[in-house]
Amino acid sequence: MSSYASRTIVSNVNPLYFIAVGLCVVILWRNSQKSPRPPSPPGAYPILGHVFQVTKDLWIPFTAWKEKYGPILSLNIVGQQMIVLNTLKAATDLLDRRSAIYSDRPRDIVGGEMLSGSHLMVLSAYNDRWRRIRRAAHDILSASVITKFQLLQRTEATLFLDDMIKNPDKWQEHFDRMTSSCMLTMVYGTAPMRSHDQPEIKAIMEYVKDMTEATAPGKHLTQLIPALKHLPLWMAPWKRAALESHERYTELFTKFLREGMDRTAHDGSQTLAQSLGQKVKQATINEKEAAWIGAALMTAGTEAILTALGWILKTLVVYPEVQRAGQQEIDRVVGRGRFPDFEDLPNLHYVRAIVFEVMRLFPPTPFAIPHSLREDDWYEGYFLEKGSTVIANVWAINRDPDIYGPDAEVFNPRRYLDVKGQLKENDINQCTWRHSDTDRVVFGSALMITTAYMLWALNLTPPKDERGVDITPDIEAYINVGLIRHVAPFKINVEPRNSDILSLLAAAMAPAGS
């Protein structure tokens, strides 16, 4: 063959071919290295690795593999190492004790870098912006803010009871309204919102839906091939949609921020939006960063709280003996003449145990937030490569018989109580090991006070069929949206526990703004 012909053939070959061949060679070479890695399940394909085994319900096979391969697993996802931590010890050893090198986040092109513009801590790399945003958010979440948030939760829980008695079939909308209204009031100082259809609440739920879908595993090829980020817009409609969503939500959150900066809270105190505005004036953060911090504070609590409350409500219906025991404790501690209060919670051991057990057995998020390893590491004789994605399997940890005993798969709130009926704090700390102090107060207090209100005021029962037999919902039924296990819809009957409830509600609703 002439040299001219050779040059012609080479010139006609797409340069992407050489890039693909080079990538394959690099991946094969890396995978051929003999550093001892954590055990992997079988079935990996050349180049692609375990990509076809990463299904939407990841926690189920991961937990099953734990029994065969041990507490730490390794998967190859197109040359990228994924480390799965299936025990509390492994998760604590690495994510807590070695947090200095495990604090980064894996890249999320569509949700993290495009839709949010790298303005959300939970989806952003550990860099100067991340530290600046974290510092600003931490500074404004003072103890007084937490106290104010608790007052808002009491108001919203009262409105929630009224909604449930009037229209129990729409319990999901009532949870949406309650959590969204509470977070909007806390961050921006708005008045309590009485309708699920108000524009602000609709906007929040639309954003939460868009972000959840954008970050769902397997949703976008950029999760496997980040270089696709650089495709031109005409070749990547998903890219155009994410960037347009970023502009739309930035405009929305900036509007919320500016209105909140000009609004005085109901009690005359400063709103979180005003605190963020001060950070902008001090040049600690810019306005766009402040707008997205406000959005993060508002929406992070919304999705987690409403999902968790759905599981709590379902367990109270499915396990009537648990509901009765909680009501008996409420009646003994609180009485029937007033609503429960946050000061009562330390004495409501069984009620709090119900919440902890629901969060253990039916966690809204079966995985902790993914981390990225910043440098090579060794653990238990295994090599963990820099850049690996590290995930704690909360589902497996929460059902570990070494921690919770041979009945770890059974719903039993009393496992948290000692012989005197008091909460065992060590067990509680294990159950909440990945939450910061602020998360525990805000997230935990919302669940605790709402659960106490439901038990104090309502009898929750399943509907009956035409033969009078209870139609008990399936406790295991769920809807998987991204990495969130939403409770599947179910029907319930709701009745006030006695006639005094309605009069107490009516008296409380007047100042609540009904």
Per residue in 386-401, pLDDT (tens digit) is 999 999 999 999 999 9
**Would you call 76 helix, strand, or coil by DSSP?**
strand
**d(C-alpha 287, C-alpha 277), whole Å:** 8
Q: What percent of the chain has pLDDT over 90?
A: 55
Query: What CATH number should be reported for the domain whose range is 34-105+372-398?
Result: 3.30.43
**Residue labelled with tokens 């995985």:** 367
Q: What is the DSSP string of 159-212?
A: HHHHHHHH-GGGHHHHHHHHHHHHHHHHHH-PPPP--TTSHHHHHHHHHHHHHH
The encoded tokens of residue 99 equal: 């947090």
pLDDT of 345 over the 90 cut: yes
Domain boundaries in the chain?
A: 1-33, 34-105+372-398, 117-368+399-512
Contact 94, 113 (CB under 8 A): no
Q: What is the mean pLDDT of residues 78-90?
A: 92
pLDDT-derived band at 514, boundaries 50, 70, 90: very low
Question: Of the candidates 346, 339, 277, which has an alpha carbon nearest to the alpha carbon of residue 136?
Answer: 277
pLDDT of 334 over the 60 cut: yes
pLDDT of res. 72:
96
pLDDT tens, position by position, 294-319: 999 888 767 788 899 999 999 999 99
Average pLDDT, the chain: 86
Q: Phi/psi zone of residue 120: left (φ > 0), alpha (ψ -120 to 50 degrees), beta?
A: beta
CA dihedral 351, 353, 359, 362 (to 10 degrees): -90
pLDDT of res. 11:
45
Which helix (H) or strand (E) element contains residue 124?
Answer: none
Cα-only R_g, the chain: 25
Higher pLDDT, 8 or 387: 387
The domain covering 117-368+399-512 belongs, at the CATH homologous superfamily level, to Cytochrome P450 (1.10.630.10)
pLDDT of 429 over the 70 cut: no
Q: Positive or negative CA dihedral for 344, 346, 349, 353?
A: positive
Range of weakest confidence among 257-271, 445-459, 484-498: 257-271
Count CA within 13 A, CB hemisphere, residue 246.
21
pLDDT of 128 over the 90 cut: no
Question: Of the candidates 420, 457, 424, which has an alpha carbon nearest to the alpha carbon of residue 357?
Answer: 424
pLDDT of 335 over the 80 cut: yes
pLDDT-derived band at 435, boundaries 50, 70, 90: low
Q: Within its chain, how far is the Cα of 46 from the centroid? A: 34
Contact 89, 114 (CB under 8 A): no
Q: What is the mean pLDDT of residues 178-201?
A: 88
**d(C-alpha 274, C-alpha 140), whole Å:** 10
Higher pLDDT, 489 or 142: 489
pLDDT-derived band at 427, boundaries 50, 70, 90: low
pLDDT-derived band at 23, boundaries 50, 70, 90: low
pLDDT-derived band at 32, boundaries 50, 70, 90: very low
